[in-house]
Amino acid sequence: MEQGAPSPDGGNFQMPSVEQILEIIETMDMSPEEKADLKKSILEGPEGGFGNMVKDQVAQAVANSPTDYLIFVVMIAVIACVFALFGYKLYQTLVGREVKKQEKQKAKQEKKNKKKN
């Protein structure tokens, strides 16, 4: 098909599935060996096929996963400890202020009681 030419189905071109391509190969006028080679090259591709690529990625992910999870858990624990430390310090500050406020009110109340007597 020429570049820029409209597609025969009105622009709604969909890529055929692998099964459809294999069916088309069966209808072609070729020797059985050529058909088998063509099917093999389509299924495996130039670098061993899609299936091998997925297997390699899964194997790599499984091989690296324990260390990756350990690093992730350690980092989450460190972040949680930092938040806990800041939360504890904030709590201490607020409690300290409240205690000082109560002591101040108590001292003020005692001062009033001394003036009345």
Tens of pLDDT, residue by residue over 25-41, are 888 888 888 888 877 77
Q: Determine the average pLDDT of the residues in 103-116.
A: 88
Q: 25, 39 in Cβ contact below 8 A?
A: yes
Model pTM score: 0.41
Q: Given this model, what pLDDT does residue 98 score? A: 96
Q: 30, 38 in Cβ contact below 8 A?
A: yes
Domain ranges of the chain: 66-116
**Could you tell me the two tokens for 112?**
């009033």
Q: 74, 82 in Cβ contact below 8 A?
A: no
Q: Given this model, what pLDDT does residue 27 score? A: 86
DSSP codes joined into one string, 21-79: HHHHHHHSS--HHHHHHHHHHHHHTTTTHHHHHHHHHHHHHHHHHHHHHHHHHHHHHHH
Q: Determine the average pLDDT of the residues in 43-55.
A: 62
Higher pLDDT pick, 84 / 36? 84
Percent over 70 (pLDDT), the chain? 74
Higher pLDDT pick, 3 / 63? 63
